[in-house]
Amino acid sequence: MDLMVLAQAQGGSMFNMVVPMILVFGILYFMMIRPQQRKEKERRAMIENLKSGTKVIFGGGFVGTVTNVKDSTFVIKVADNVKVEVLRGSVSRIIEKGEKLADEDQK
């Protein structure tokens, strides 16, 4: 009889340990992982819709205008008579018309 009570006590404590771990994972998923996946999906859609003439900012801080769209790269004009070819993934955001560029540290 003692073994049966001991087995039930251990089973109950194991269940009590697993439930909080599942709850913590669920909270982490909805608070961190899911929003990041949504943001990445929006970024991919933005990159897919880029056209020539669009002004963009790159991960390294360069600003340029898309002049040619290729399968896996963009040709970007960064200055007069200076064009570079960059990977699609390096584009971090689009600069809207009339938007002023300012370093966020200078606020």
| Measured distance CA(89)–CA(40) in Å, rounded | 11
Q: How confident is the model at residue 97 (pLDDT cuts 50, 70, 90)?
A: confident
Residue with tokens 């340029």: 64
| Measured distance CA(4)–CA(41) in Å, rounded | 52
Alpha helices of 29-85 — where are they, by DSSP H? 34-48
Give residue 12's pLDDT.
63
pLDDT one-digit tens code per residue, 57-81 = 988 888 999 999 998 999 999 999 9
Considering the domain boundaries, does residue 67 fall inside one? yes
Considering the domain boundaries, does residue 107 fall inside one? no
Q: Burial of 91 by CB count in 10 Å (0-12 exposed, 13-18 middle, 19+ buried)? A: buried
| 6 has pLDDT over 50 | no
Q: Burial of 74 by CB count in 10 Å (0-12 exposed, 13-18 middle, 19+ buried)? A: buried
Backbone φ/ψ region at 72: left (φ over 0), alpha (ψ -120 to 50), beta: alpha
Considering the domain boundaries, does residue 106 fall inside one? no
The CATH code of the domain that includes 93 is 2.30.30.100
Considering the domain boundaries, does residue 72 fall inside one? yes
Considering the domain boundaries, does residue 71 fall inside one? yes
Overall pTM > 0.85: no
* Domain assignment of residue 83, given as a range: 51-98
